[in-house]
Structure 1
Amino acid sequence: MESMENHRWTRWASGVTIEDMDVLRYSAFTTDPHGGNPAGVVLGAGHLGDDEMLRIAAELGYSETAFVDGDRVRYFSPLAEVDFCGHATIATAVALAERFGAGPMRFHTNAGEIAVETTVADGQVTATLTSAPAHSRPATATELDEVLAALRWDRADLDPAFPPHVAFAGNEHFVLAAGTRERLAKLDYDFEALGDVMSRGGWTTVHLVWAESAELFHARDPFPPGGVVEDAATGAAAAAFGGYLRTIGKLGSGRFTVLQGEDMGRPSVLTVEVDDRPGIRVTGTAVRI
C-alpha cells in the first residue's frame, strides 16, 4: 500500500500542492550550515525560461541551483546549465522530504532518471541518490599534460596506484590522484587555462583525490566551467569516482567515504556505495541555510 509520505510526494509532483515558485537555500553533505556545499532549490519552477533560471542561479551565486517542476529537475551553475548535480539533488530531496515526507523519489534530469531514497532519523533527513550508469576510461597523454600544466602539477606529484581517467556518472569528471595530502592541500591553479581544457574535454570538474586508505579519500574539485574556483562537495564526481574505482579494481569493501571541502573551511562528508549495478549510490545529509 502506498504510504502517506509517498502520496504527498505524488500529489506535489503532479503540480497540485505547490503553485508558486519557492526559492530555498540548503547546504548539502553536512549537518552544519557553515559546512558542506550550498545549493539553491527552486520549487514550482515550471513557468521559468532558460534565461530566467540562469539569471536566478547567477544571483544566488552557488555552484549549482536546482529548478524543480514536478519530478523534472534541471541544474544551473552561474554560467550554464549542467546535466546533473549531486549536491543539489541531495539538497532537493531533503527539502522535499522535509515538506512532504520521506520515501522514494524519482527525478527526471538531463542525464536521465535519478532515483533518490530519503529517510529520517532523530529529525535529520538523509538522502541517497543512484547515479546514471557509471563508466570510466584512461586519460590520454595529451589530456593529462594539459591538465597538469593548468594545475601547475608535475607527473611526480601523482599517485601511480590511481591512473588518470575520465569518469562518468551523469556527466564527465577528470580524475587525478595526488601522491600526498600536502600536494592536494596546495591548490593554486590557472583558472582560465584549466577552464579552457575542461571546456574542450566536456568535463564538469577535475576530481582531485588523495587516498588515506582503501575506504577513505580526500577530494578537491575545481569547477571553472561553472564560474566557481572550487566545489565544497561534488556528489556527481563522487559517483563518477566510484565507477572509476570499480573500473581499476580498487574498490576495497565497495563502500567508502569522501571528505571534501576541508581545505575551503566547509567540510563535507559523502558516502559512496558501489556494487555490480550500473549506477553508483551516494548518500548525504543537507541543512537549511
Structure 2
Amino acid sequence: MTETVLRYAAFTDPDRADAAAGGNPAGIVLHASGLGDAAMQAIAAEVGYAETAFVTEPAVDGDPRHSRLRFFSPVAEVPFCGHATVATAVALAGRDGTGTVTFETNVGAITITTRATDAGTTASFTSVDPRAAILDPGVLGTLLGLLGVTAEALHPDYPPRLAYAGNWHPVIVFADQAGFDAFTFDPAAMRALMDAQGWAGTVTTLVPTGAAEFEARNLFPVGTITEDPATGSAAASVGGYLRELGLVAPPARVVIRQGRHVGRPSLLLVDVPAVGGIVVSGTAVDIA
C-alpha cells in the first residue's frame, strides 16, 4: 500500500476521558484521483476498517471546497458512509480550515459543516431526503430468527421498517434493555441475508433509553467486523424513520449512543427538521 492513508475515529464521545478509544475508525485517502476501483478496493481491504473514504476529485468544477468522495468496505464499494464522511470532513478542516464543504457521493451531494468546539472539531452532515418502507413479514421473520428472538421482543410503539438516508437499513426496536443486550447472531448467516436483500448498510437495532434517546447496535459483518461502533448513515435513517412514523415532533434532536457492545463507545447527535434531509453531527479525532 503506497498511498497515504489517514486514520480517524468518528463520532467519538467528547465527555469520555478516553474518547480516542471510542468512535468508529475510518481510513481516508485524500489524494485518490489516480486510483482505479481495484486499487481502492485493495487499500480498503488492507486497512481493514468498516470503510475507507477516497477523495477521487479534490476540486469539482474548480471549487476547492467541493470534492468527490467514494467509500469502500474491505469487500465492496458502499454507496454512502456517514462516519467516513465525518472523518474526511474533519481531516480536511485540519488542512484547509473549518467551514462548509460539499461531497459528491454515489447517492448524491452531501453538505457537511465543520466547526471548532471545546470538544474538538465537530462535523455535521445533511443526508439526502430520507424515506421508509414496509419490511416484508417473511424477511422480518428470517431476521428475527437470526437474532434468536420473536416479535414479542420488539417495542410495540416502534414498528419494524426499512429506512433510507443514503443506504437502506432495516430498523428493529427492542422493548427492553435486557433483550437488546442479549441477542447474538451468526455473522455469515446475517451477511447472506443482507446480500440477498441488497442491504449495503447495517442492520440497525435500537432500544429507547430516554426521551428521544436510544442505544444502537448496528450489525455489519464484513471481514473481522461483526458490529459497527458508530453508523452515521443509520443514524440519519433512524431520524427519517422517526419522522415518517410521527414518533418525534420536528424540529427534534435525537441522541444515539452506540459501540458499547464492541468496546468503542460512540455518540451521534441527530437533528430532525420538519422536511428535508436529516442532520447528523459528531466529533472525529486522528488515531494514527
- Does the residue aligned with 1:22 lie in a helix, a strand or coil? coil
Q: What CA distance in whole angstroms lies between the structure 1 residues aligned with 2:166 and 2:208? A: 23
Q: State the partner residue of 2:124.
A: 128
Contact 2:243 2:249 in 1 (8 A): no
Shift of 1:55: 0.9
Contact 2:160 2:172 in 1 (8 A): yes
Task: Kindly provide the CA deviation profile for residues 195-238 of structure 1, in whole angstroms up to 9, marking residues without a partner as x.
Answer: 11111211121100001123110000011257630000000000
Contact 1:78 1:227 in 2 (8 A): no
Q: What CA distance in whole angstroms lies between the structure 2 residues aligned with 1:278 and 1:198? A: 27
1:229-240 counterparts in 2 under 5 A?
229-240=226-237
Q: What CA distance in whole angstroms lies between the structure 2 residues aligned with 1:182 and 1:52? A: 44
Q: What CA distance in whole angstroms lies between the structure 1 residues aligned with 2:185 and 2:214? A: 21
- Does the residue aligned with 1:250 lie in a helix, a strand or coil? coil
The one of 109, 114, 137 equivalent to 2:110 is 114
Letter in 2 for 1:263: H
Letter in 2 for 1:35: G
Q: State the partner residue of 1:52.
A: 39
Task: Kindly provide the CA deviation profile for residues 81-131 of structure 1, in whole angstroms up to 9, marking residues without a partner as x.
Answer: 000000000000000001110000000000110000111123711000001
- Does the residue aligned with 2:233 lie in a helix, a strand or coil? helix
Task: Kindly provide the CA deviation profile for residues 6-63 of structure 1, in whole angstroms up to 9, marking residues without a partner as x.
Answer: xxxxxxxxxxxxxx94310000001422101000011111111111111111111100
Shift of 1:154: 1.2
1:1-289 counterparts in 2 under 5 A?
21-30=3-12, 31=14, 32-69=19-56, 70=58, 71-122=67-118, 124-203=120-199, 204-224=201-221, 228-252=225-249, 254-289=252-287
Structure 1: give runs of 5+ residues left out of the alignment. Answer: 1-19
Q: What CA distance in whole angstroms lies between the structure 2 residues aligned with 1:55 and 1:217? A: 35
Moved more, 42-51 or 117-126: 117-126
Q: What CA distance in whole angstroms lies between the structure 2 residues aligned with 1:226 and 1:131? A: 27
Contact 1:28 1:90 in 2 (8 A): yes
Q: Percent identity?
A: 46
Structure 2: give runs of 5+ residues left out of the alignment. Answer: 59-66
Residues 179 and 123 (structure 1), Cα distance of their counterparts in 2 relative to 1, 3 Å cut = closer
Shift of 1:194: 1.4
Letter in 1 for 2:40: M
Q: What CA distance in whole angstroms lies between the structure 2 residues aligned with 1:42 and 1:260? A: 26
Aligned length: 270
Letter in 1 for 2:128: A
Q: What CA distance in whole angstroms lies between the structure 1 residues aligned with 2:249 and 2:223? A: 33
Q: Could you state the TM-score of these two structures normalised by the residue count of structure 1?
A: 0.90
Shift of 1:279: 0.7
Q: What CA distance in whole angstroms lies between the structure 2 residues aligned with 1:44 and 1:238? A: 28
